Chain A
Amino acid sequence: MGFSSIYAVSGSDIVYETFDGDAVVLDLASGRYFGFSDSGSCVWEALIAHVSPASLVGRDCGSGVIAADDLDAFIARLGEYGLLSPAAEVAPTALSPELAARLAAARDGLKIDMHDELADLVMVDPIHDVDEPAGWPAVRQ
């Protein structure tokens, strides 16, 4: 990965939501889901909003700042999990004041946790039946 790219969510199987400041990401294809530390939630939200990683380095994060190595490792992990991919021809956006404030108030370092104990249950779900000619979706990414 690295800081030369803008990133985006890796396809329609990755769904996500932020609940009271905690981002939750689910890979519907693998059934794995992911939780983050407080700062990790902020950075995830920033990255999928096309904030450039370079602009995050040095940002206030709890009692310190975001270190380049930590951010690089975090983005690499997101890529390894198949959650995030470089996005071509996407204009970078600025970090929102709200996210910047949450990041500054964070208590923990950048972290993502993967959970797979529900994977077999999620995998069997009917959302995977996508080959109905007349139904949704016509084309699976």
Chain B
Amino acid sequence: MAKYSVVIPAYNAARTIAETLRSVAAQSLAPAEIIVVDDGSTDETEAATRQSGVGIRYVRQDNAGPGSATTRGFALTSHPHIATVDADDLWLPEKIERQFRRLEEMPQLAAVFTLWRTFRHGEADTGTGQVVPGWSRTTMLVRRDVALAVGPVIDPPGNRGEMIDWLGRAREDGHQFGMIDEVLSLRRILPGSMSYGRDPERDRGYLEVARMAMLRRKLKNSGQG
């Protein structure tokens, strides 16, 4: 059966990471390894991780951003596929199994994603949250060779947009992505989390991502890319 590693970048995720880990451990197709990269948390993330009851490899680094932690995790994996998840989001039990099935059906795909639905932290999931295609770290199952070939996940200013940049670069390199048209992941709405709300400084990260994409295009068009 297909073997995969799980990479979870985490920063001050003590409130949520145990639930995330349990959703990973509950997969119908169990992971071969789970790597938590603690990006210099100042809360009890490590204790919550170790007390979750889920067997993991815990690695800590100085705070450098979610992209850096993801890249570190990629480098530590040892199986042919990598699944990633943010430390506050959840997987539904058949997520990975469905994704491997899609990869078997379409071996040309480099990565497979799923729809995801929002739920509110501290409230029961009513199943009524917004459903959108989860082009994101939380839903991604990617071939390890592709993940390493695309290169580091670069953190823009404000620690936002790093996966937009990385996934955009992967597509520019010709890698094909698949999307399973089914909700198999849940995204937590948690005010104060890295990805919640609007912030001018963080919006700057998205602009930097757009700028980098234009610079790459310019370089390519000039024949140097």
Contacts and interface: CB of A to CB of B under 8 A. Distances in A.
Contacts of B195: 125-127
Contacts, number: 92
Contacts of A33: 207, 210, 213-214
A33 B118 CA distance: 26
A37 to B, nearest CB: 12
* Interface residues of A, dominant DSSP: mixed
Interface in B192-225: 195-198, 200, 203-204, 206-211, 213-214, 217
Contacts of A135: 191, 196-197
A134 B134 CA distance: 25
Interface string B126-143: 000010111110000000
A18 to B, nearest CB: 10
Interface string B55-74: 00000000000000000000
Interface string A91-125: 00000000000000000000000010110111111
A68 interface: no
Interface string B72-104: 000000000000000000000000000000000
A51 to B, nearest CB: 22
A115 B130 contact: no
B144 interface: no
Nearest to A33: B210
B64 to A, nearest CB: 21
Interface residues of A, number: 29
B163 interface: yes
Contact of A15 (B135, B196, B207): B207
Interface residues of B, number: 34
Contact of B196 (A16, A22, A126): A126
A123 B161 CA distance: 11
B167 A121 contact: yes
Interface of B: 118, 120, 130, 132-136, 160-161, 163-164, 167-168, 171, 187, 189, 191, 195-198, 200, 203-204, 206-211, 213-214, 217
Interface of A: 12, 15-17, 19, 22, 24, 26, 28, 33, 35, 115, 117-118, 120-127, 129-130, 132, 134-137
